[in-house]
Amino acid sequence: MPIKNHTLIFLMGPTASGKTPLAIELVQHFPLDIISVDSALVYKDMNIGTAKPTPAELQIAPHKLIDIVDAKEIYSAGQFCSDAIKEIKASWDKGCIPLLVGGTMLYFRALQQGLAPLPPADPGVRAKLSERAEHEGWEALHTELSKIDSEAAKRIMPRDSQRIQRALEVYLLTGKNITTWQNEQTQQAMPFTIHSLGLLPTDRKQLHKRIELRFDNMLQQGFIAEVESLFNRGDLQADLPSIRAVGYRQAWAYLSGEINKDEMREQALAATRQLAKRQITWLRSWDDVQFFDASREVKPAVFEKMRIIVESSAK
């Protein structure tokens, strides 16, 4: 069934809510192409801890935008938008509907609303900030950021060197803090008809059990060995975005001798629960989204909604 261009489907939800298996089922019944919206799945050699689809699953349902950058690279929301739009257009050219699946809500928002026109990176400014951080520490620069931009400082962790550096860089280059830039952003009218579907668990305890079971399965599948191979490369550091991913950050601390294995597990579970909480908060604030209770069986309801979308998108 030929599909009109400009139709997109967002399938959003917190971690462990069942997005990936549902997407794999959907693509077998409808003319869909899966595009991953996940800031961790982009990294190569990070498979177990990111719950990346298995090779067998990818044979059935190929996912775009996974395994596209090395763990030492920094992948931005802007790069995601550029890459996603290319994949979206390729999907339309095939007569399919792009199904964007994931939990990185910032990427969804950036694609839907566009990005603030921030100034490009300045190597000189970044070098000076890095030099200051070596002597004063990133926590001190975070304190400075809190005086310049309290809202950004609340969003950015004191050891998040990449984001602290970028926020201070924007201020030093323009005299205007990054929150002001973002608030003044002119929303771009993206040429998409977006159908937003959200998997929103109503039973928080059940979600936490899923998170615990999934992480324990990851440990049994060799998650620590996976992180150890990254640890032993020698060119990766704990403050890289890839290593700051939930689970990897705690496993890295364990391998560094900072915490023991039990502490690693508990901290990873706590961080994953916090991630899910933030994702749910984002999702609840989303406009024009149809929610499905991920604490229950959602397949029949989602399949019916998908049928309606596909039929309405047919030429």
| ∠ Cα 120 126 130 (to 5°) | 155
| Residue 251 maps to a domain | yes
- Say which residues have a Cβ less than 8 Å from residue 257's Cβ, sequence separation at least 6: none
**Alpha-carbon distance values, 208 to 15, 48, 214, 222, 269 (Å):** 10, 19, 10, 22, 9
Last residue of one domain, picked from the residues 133, 156, 183: 183
290: helix, strand or coil: strand
197 and 65, same structural domain? yes
Per-residue confidence (pLDDT) for residue 259, from 0 to 100? 98
302 and 210, same structural domain? yes
Residue closest to 13 by CA, chosen among 23, 3, 4: 23
Per-residue confidence (pLDDT) for residue 155, from 0 to 100? 78
Per-residue confidence (pLDDT) for residue 198, from 0 to 100? 97
193 and 178, same structural domain? no
26 and 109, same structural domain? yes
179 and 154, same structural domain? yes
Assessment of whether the complete model's pTM goes beyond 0.75? yes
Last residue of one domain, picked from the residues 183, 199, 227: 183
> 281: exposed, middle or buried (C-beta count within 10 Å: 0-12, 13-18, 19+)?
exposed
Residue with tokens 């323009």: 174
225 and 148, same structural domain? no
Domain that holds residue 110: 7-115+186-313
Question: Which H or E run contains 23?
Answer: helix 19-27
Backbone φ/ψ region at 11: left (φ over 0), alpha (ψ -120 to 50), beta: beta
Residue closest to 80 by CA, chosen among 53, 60, 94, 100: 100
62 and 37, same structural domain? yes
Last residue of one domain, picked from the residues 136, 161, 183: 183
176 and 37, same structural domain? no
Structure tokens at 149: 């931009």
| Residue 1 maps to a domain | no
pLDDT digit string (tens) for the chain, length 315 residues: 555 668 999 999 999 999 999 999 999 999 999 999 999 999 999 999 999 999 999 999 999 999 999 999 989 888 999 899 999 999 999 999 999 999 999 899 888 887 767 777 888 999 999 999 999 999 999 999 999 999 888 878 787 888 899 999 999 988 989 888 877 654 454 568 899 999 999 999 999 999 999 999 999 999 999 999 999 999 999 989 999 999 999 999 999 999 999 999 999 999 999 999 999 999 998 989 999 999 999 999 999 999 999 998 876
104 and 238, same structural domain? yes
Q: How many domains does the chain have?
A: 2
| Residue 205 maps to a domain | yes
Per-residue confidence (pLDDT) for residue 189, from 0 to 100? 46
149 and 88, same structural domain? no
What is the C-alpha separation between 205 and 203, in angstroms, rounded?
6
| Residue 2 maps to a domain | no
What is the C-alpha separation between 103 and 17, in angstroms, rounded?
10
